[in-house]
Amino acid sequence: MIEFILLVNKQGQTRLSQYYNSYTVKERVLLEGELVRKCLSRTQKQCSFFNHQQFKVIYRRYASLYFIIGINSDEDINELSMLEFIHNTVETLDRYFENVCELDIMFNIEKAHFIIDEMIMNGCILETNKESVLTPLKAIMKASK
């Protein structure tokens, strides 16, 4: 089970976050800050996993954006599969926004959430087929026009 997924830029500003368990605002701000610092201190050559507090952290960097997934340490996960899943998420966002960038996500935060909600539900992977993820969103956008 995924505990949280974060999109954070190099300046340490969170652009999207979904937590699947309750955290207070304070806890989140602290955690996000520490995670970004750790990610920033790692080079491209270093591996994409590290432990932070009770979490196994899996992250991938895309230009100036870090996609970070946290999973409880006692959970037996397939880190490589998670890494693929991050990429899958990014590709899905990319397909919808066409060359997705930080600003797309900022100004369309609702849609970004919608996409993530179609892919992860309560920390479980729901859908990896990009078309299946995007069809409901496209349908809704069409209907609301």
**Sites of contact with another protein (CB under 8 A):** 14-18, 20-22, 25, 28-29, 32, 42-43, 45-50, 76, 78-81, 83-85, 87-88, 106-107, 109-110, 113-114, 117, 121-122, 124-132, 136, 139-140, 143-144
- Whichever of 34 and 140 has its CB closer to another protein, that residue is 140
d(CA 34, CA 54): 13
Q: For another protein, which is the closer residue by CB, 79 or 94?
A: 79
Q: Residue 50: how many CB atoms within 10 A of its CB? A: 16
Least separation in angstroms between CB 46 and another protein: 4
Nearer to another protein, 37 or 107 (CB): 107
**DSSP sequence for 16-80:** EEEESS---HHHHHHHHHHHHHHHHTS-TTS-SEEEETTEEEEEEEETTEEEEEEEETTS---HH
Minimum CB distance to another protein, residue 70 (Å):
16
Q: Which is nearer to another protein, 98 or 110 (CB)?
A: 110
CB of 116 to another protein, least distance (A): 10
d(CA 102, CA 110): 14
- Least distance between another protein and beta carbon 25 (Å): 6
- Residue 69 CB, shortest distance to another protein, in Å, is 14
The span from the CA of 13 to the CA of 51, in Å, is: 21
Q: Do 12 and 37 contact (CB within 8 A), yes or no? A: yes
The C-alpha atoms of residue 8 and residue 87 are separated, in whole angstroms, by 15
Closer Cβ to another protein, 10 or 28, answer by number: 28
